[in-house]
């Protein structure tokens, strides 16, 4: 069997590990991949944006399944191109990828099918957006409608901060065309939760719950990033609660997409806020999250290749239910100096040996230079610790991160604080991570 993974980050490194486990004898290719995947996959010097090159490679190697990691090629229609060529691909088509590529589209869809989310308005004109902000309660959230590498959602404590965000996005084009249209929404108070589904166009099957940390600084302070860490499973993980999320959030979206003639197939991410009125959607993504993949996949003990093949061939997931390994996983992201506003490349990296049963190092922004491993991006490594308890997983992750060296490295030492240090949450927020206290339970 020949398998192709598209992408170069920690998420794709985790995919490579997962597929190697599920198909020990397969030929696995990663385009372009990263040095951490060497020995697990053969690296192919084709960028994730080069759809024509990827298509030619997959056809020449008779690839049995292509797994698309990042959102940009999905939004550009890579799944459509592969399907037209008769090449099995796991990931939504261009129409499905609009759930992430256009926040305005996702908000309209949620409004139409009754999925709970924040009150919001969408603007194509900066002056109209500024007028709206002038009469809106504080705080509020300004989001670039298009793809902005996970950095396009700005929580604004004041109207002044919101005005600045709008001007930077719509006038200054901080995020390019992605910020030409903005969504302005109410600030939702509560605790966030990530729920990933495998979708076959008709049904959604949930994987483990997780929680990620977007802010660059300790205590959830500072700028938004692509993600500074995550852990799994994350409360609430009660089966009845997860089924409620499936029925009230994922299924209506799948039904609406199918009715529109664009059945959704692939990973579906629902980023939730657990509010006083129940779970509400923060955003949808059309792929697995990074770094959540680095904790969810290692704890998913059942074969994932088989359901991905089913979906890629247009078959049903009926009867498939994933199983989870016992224990917990927590990943600490090590980033370059200046991240998320900038990053330094070419800094030598030193990684000692770790027991793979306790620690797994996933590469994200790394490269080989003159035979030496060096930094090559903002988020450089994801250090996943495993343990029988979340405390043990966190300790192993943080101790391992402290032993890895490269100039300018920075990370957060408080990933998982929602459950490791719940006193930092107010009593109302702390209660929301337990499903029995949520409305309807």
Architecture of domain 191-423: 2-Layer Sandwich (3.30)
CB-count exposure of residue 283 (10 Å: 0-12, 13-18, 19+): buried
Looking at residue 277, its pLDDT comes to 87
CB-count exposure of residue 357 (10 Å: 0-12, 13-18, 19+): exposed
Tell me how far apart the alpha carbons of residues 144 and 240 are, in angstroms, rounded to a whole number: 34
Tell me how far apart the alpha carbons of residues 195 and 289 are, in angstroms, rounded to a whole number: 10
- The count of C-alpha atoms lying within 13 angstroms of the C-alpha of 383, restricted to the half-sphere facing its C-beta, is 28
Looking at residue 430, its pLDDT comes to 65
Q: What is the mean pLDDT of residues 181-201?
A: 92
Tokens 């938004």, located at residue:
224
Fold topology of 125-180: Dna Ligase; domain 1 (3.30.1490)
Distance between terminal CA atoms of the chain?
46
Looking at residue 60, its pLDDT comes to 98
Tell me how far apart the alpha carbons of residues 31 and 19 are, in angstroms, rounded to a whole number: 15
CB 9 within 8 A of CB 16: no
Mean pLDDT of all residues in the chain? 93
Q: What is the mean pLDDT of residues 12-19?
A: 98
Q: What is the pLDDT of residues 370-411, one digit of tens each?
A: 999 999 999 999 999 999 999 999 999 999 999 999 999 999
Q: What is the mean pLDDT of residues 98-123?
A: 90
Q: What is the DSSP string of 238-293?
A: -HHHHHHHIIIIIHHHHHHHHHTT---EEEEEEEEEEETTEEEEEEEESS--TTTH
CB 334 within 8 A of CB 413: no
Q: Among positive and negative, which fits the CA dihedral 323, 325, 329, 335? A: negative
Q: What is the mean pLDDT of residues 202-209?
A: 97
- The count of C-alpha atoms lying within 13 angstroms of the C-alpha of 161, restricted to the half-sphere facing its C-beta, is 14
Looking at residue 177, its pLDDT comes to 84
CB 283 within 8 A of CB 87: no
DSSP for residue 212 = E
Lowest mean pLDDT among 169-178, 191-200, 226-235: 169-178
CB-CB neighbours of 437 under 10 Å: 13
Looking at residue 439, its pLDDT comes to 42
Residue 441 pLDDT greater than 50, yes or no: no
CB proximity list for 231: less than 8 A, separation 6 or greater: 210, 211, 295, 328, 329, 330, 331, 390, 393, 394, 415, 416, 419
Tell me how far apart the alpha carbons of residues 412 and 7 are, in angstroms, rounded to a whole number: 25
Looking at residue 228, its pLDDT comes to 97
CB 198 within 8 A of CB 223: no
Tell me how far apart the alpha carbons of residues 324 and 303 are, in angstroms, rounded to a whole number: 11
Looking at residue 176, its pLDDT comes to 87
DSSP for residue 137 = P
Token digits for 353?
Answer: 């040996």
**One-letter-per-residue 3-state SS of 159-206:** HHHHHHHHHHHHHCCCCHHHHCCEEEEECCCCEEEEEEEEEECCCEEE
> Exposure pattern of 129-150 as b/e (b: 16+ CB <10 Å)?
bbebbeebeeebbbbbbbbbeb
Looking at residue 70, its pLDDT comes to 96
Q: What is the pLDDT of residues 410-420, one digit of tens each?
A: 999 999 999 99
Alpha carbon separation from 408 to 220, 227, 325, 348 (Å, rounded) = 20, 18, 35, 11
Domain ranges of the chain: 2-93, 125-180, 191-423
Q: What is the mean pLDDT of residues 151-164?
A: 85
| Class level of CATH domain 2-93 | alpha beta
Tell me how far apart the alpha carbons of residues 87 and 90 are, in angstroms, rounded to a whole number: 10
Q: What is the pLDDT of residues 259-276, one digit of tens each?
A: 999 999 999 999 999 998
Looking at residue 437, its pLDDT comes to 43
Lowest mean pLDDT among 118-127, 347-356, 363-372: 118-127
CB 317 within 8 A of CB 307: yes
Q: What is the pLDDT of residues 213-255, one digit of tens each?
A: 999 999 999 988 999 999 999 999 889 999 999 999 999 999 9
Residue 87 pLDDT greater than 80, yes or no: yes
Q: What is the mean pLDDT of residues 187-193?
A: 90
* Nearest residue to 407 (alpha-carbon basis) of 355, 347, 364: 347
CB proximity list for 352: less than 8 A, separation 6 or greater: 403, 404
- Between these two residues, 228 and 168, which has the higher pLDDT value? 228
Looking at residue 385, its pLDDT comes to 98
What share of the chain has pLDDT > 70, as a percent? 96
Tokens 């922004």, located at residue:
365
Residue 128 pLDDT greater than 50, yes or no: yes
DSSP for residue 437 = G
Q: What is the DSSP string of 326-359?
A: SSEEEEEEEE-TTTTT---EEEE-B-----TTTE
Looking at residue 367, its pLDDT comes to 97
């Amino acid at each position: 069997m020949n398998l192709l993974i598209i992408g170069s980050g920690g998420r794709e490194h985790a995919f490579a590990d997962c597929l190697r486990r599920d198909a020990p004898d397969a030929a696995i290719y990663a385009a372009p991949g990263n040095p951490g995947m060497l020995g697990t996959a053969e690296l192919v010097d084709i960028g994730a944006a080069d759809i024509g090159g990827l298509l030619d490679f997959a056809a020449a190697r008779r690839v049995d399944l292509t797994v698309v990691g990042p959102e940009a090629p999905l939004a550009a229609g890579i799944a459509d191109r592969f399907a037209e060529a008769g090449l099995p691909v796991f990931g939504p088509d261009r129409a499905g990828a609009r759930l992430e590529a256009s926040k305005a589209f996702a908000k309209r869809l949620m409004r139409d099918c009754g999925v709970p989310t924040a009150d919001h308005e969408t603007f194509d004109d900066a002056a109209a957006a500024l007028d709206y902000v002038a009469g809106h309660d504080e705080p509020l959230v300004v989001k670039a409608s298009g793809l902005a590498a996970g950095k396009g959602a700005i929580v604004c404590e004041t109207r002044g901060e919101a005005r600045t965000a709008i001007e930077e996005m719509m006038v200054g084009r901080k995020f390019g065309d992605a910020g030409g249209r903005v969504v302005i929404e109410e600030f939702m108070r509560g605790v966030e939760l990530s729920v990933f589904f495998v979708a076959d166009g008709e049904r959604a099957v949930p994987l483990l719950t997780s929680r990620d940390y977007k802010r660059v600084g300790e205590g959830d302070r500072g700028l938004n990033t692509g993600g500074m860490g995550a852990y799994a499973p994350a409360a609430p993980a009660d089966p009845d609660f997860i089924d409620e999320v499936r029925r009230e959030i994922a299924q209506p979206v799948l039904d609406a997409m199918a009715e529109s003639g664009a059945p959704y197939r692939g990973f579906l991410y629902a980023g939730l806020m657990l509010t006083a009125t129940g779970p509400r959607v923060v955003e949808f993504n059309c792929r697995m999250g990074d770094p959540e993949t680095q904790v969810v996949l290692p704890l998913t003990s059942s074969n994932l290749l088989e359901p991905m093949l089913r979906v890629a061939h247009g078959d049903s997931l009926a009867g498939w239910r994933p199983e989870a390994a016992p224990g917990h996983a927590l990943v600490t992201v090590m980033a370059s100096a200046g991240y998320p506003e900038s990053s330094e490349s070419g800094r030598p990296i030193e990684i000692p040996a770790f027991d793979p049963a306790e620690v797994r190092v996933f590469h994200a922004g790394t490269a080989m230079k003159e035979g030496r491993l060096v930094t090559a991006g903002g988020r450089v490594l994801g250090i996943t610790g495993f343990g029988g308890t979340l405390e043990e997983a966190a300790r192993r992750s943080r101790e391992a991160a402290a032993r890895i060296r490269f100039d300018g490295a920075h990370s957060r030492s408080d990933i998982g604080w929602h459950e490791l240090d719940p006193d930092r949450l107010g009593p109302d927020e702390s209660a929301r991570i337990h499903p029995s206290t949520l409305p309807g339970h």
